[in-house]
Amino acid sequence: MRNIMEQQHHHSEEFQEKHERIWFMFIPPFVWAIHLLACYLTAAIWCAKYSGTTYNFITVRVAIGIYTLLAIAIIGSLGWIGYRRHRHLSEDLAYHDDTPLDRYRFLGLATFLLSVLSAIATLFVAAVALFFGNCN
């Protein structure tokens, strides 16, 4: 315990509030939202403007595929950063003390959990492109 306390003290500079960004944890769901909108708008505009033309629907599928790869890459990297912060310095997963380290690790876990949720929701949306071969 004493060792942990010393570590916390040692790292107090590292966990100063000025280095922290609360909106960091909101980025994964925000990426999900952008992905959803991109998929929806691409499909809606293509179906309204081009579905009667010779362009193939595969364009929409490829576009959704690219959006999904990008989204998962961003969400995945944020999730990994969050996970690293969550496990920072300790194997002890309970942290509800009034220390900067506990706050730092909490925000890491929140980012990680939101990344997992966002990744699942993104893949849910992307799966639609696997099943739909045309607008209807």
Partner 1 sequence: MDSKPANLISEQDLDSAEYRRQSAARLLKAWETPRGWRYWSAVNNSEVGMWYTVASFCFFLFGGVLALLMRIQLAVPGNTFLTADQYNQIFTMHGSVMMFLFAVPIFEAFSIMILPEMLGARDLPFPRLSAYGFYSFVIGGIFVCGSLFFDAAPKGGWFMYPPLTSSFQDDIGADIWLLGLTFIEIASIAAAIELIVGVLKCRPPGMRINLIPLYCWYILVVAGMILFAFPPLIAGDILLEMERAFDWPFFDPQRGGDPLLWQHLFWIFGHPEVYIVFLPSVALMAMMVPTFAKTPMVGYSWVVLSAVGTGFLSFGLWVHHMFTTGLPGISIGIFSAASQAVAIPTGVQLFCFLATLTAGNVKRSVCLHFIFAGLATFIIGGLTGVMVAVAPFDFQAHDTFFIVGHLHYVLIGGTIFPIMAGFYYFFPLVKGKQLSERIGRIVFWLVLIGFNITFFPMHITGLLGMPRRVFTYPADMGFDTLNLISSLGSMILAAGFVLFLYDVVRPRTKQPLSERNPWQAGTLEWLAQMPDQPWGVRTIPIIESRYPLWEQPNFVRDVDEGRFYLPDAVEGKRETLVTTVIDAEPIQCLRVGVPTFLTFFAALFTGGFFIFATYHWWLAAIISGLIAIGVILTWVWTGTAEIPEKETKDVGLGLSLPLYISGPNAVGWWAMFITMTADITAFVSLIFGYFFYWTIHEDFPPQPVQGPGVFWPVTGMVLLMIAYGLTWLSRHWNRAGYTSAFYLSLSLAVVFSLAGTCALLAGPWLTGLNPTTHVYPAIVWVLTGWTALHVILGVIMQLYCLARRAAGKMTNQWDADIVNVSLYWHFLALTVAMTVGVIAGFPSVS
Closer CB to partner 1, residue 87 or residue 103?
103
Q: How far is the CB of 85 from partner 1 (least distance, A)?
A: 12
Q: How far is CA 81 from the centre of its chain?
A: 10
Closer CB to partner 1, residue 7 or residue 42?
42
Closer CB to partner 1, residue 7 or residue 95?
95
Q: How far is the CB of 18 from partner 1 (least distance, A)?
A: 9
Q: How far is the CB of 10 from partner 1 (least distance, A)?
A: 18
Q: How far apart are CA 30 and CA 32, in angstroms?
A: 5
Q: How far apart are CA 134 and CA 129, in angstroms?
A: 9
Compute how many other C-beta atoms are within 10 angstroms of the C-beta atom of residue 78.
21
With a CB cutoff of 8 Å and minimum separation 6, the contacts of 32 are: 71, 75, 118, 121, 122
Q: How far apart are CA 15 and CA 36, in angstroms?
A: 34
Residues that bind partner 1 (CB under 8 A): 17, 20, 22, 25-26, 29-30, 32-33, 36, 39-40, 43-45, 47-49, 51, 60, 95-98, 100, 102-103, 106-107, 109-110, 113-114, 117-118, 120-121, 124-125, 127-129, 131-132, 134-136
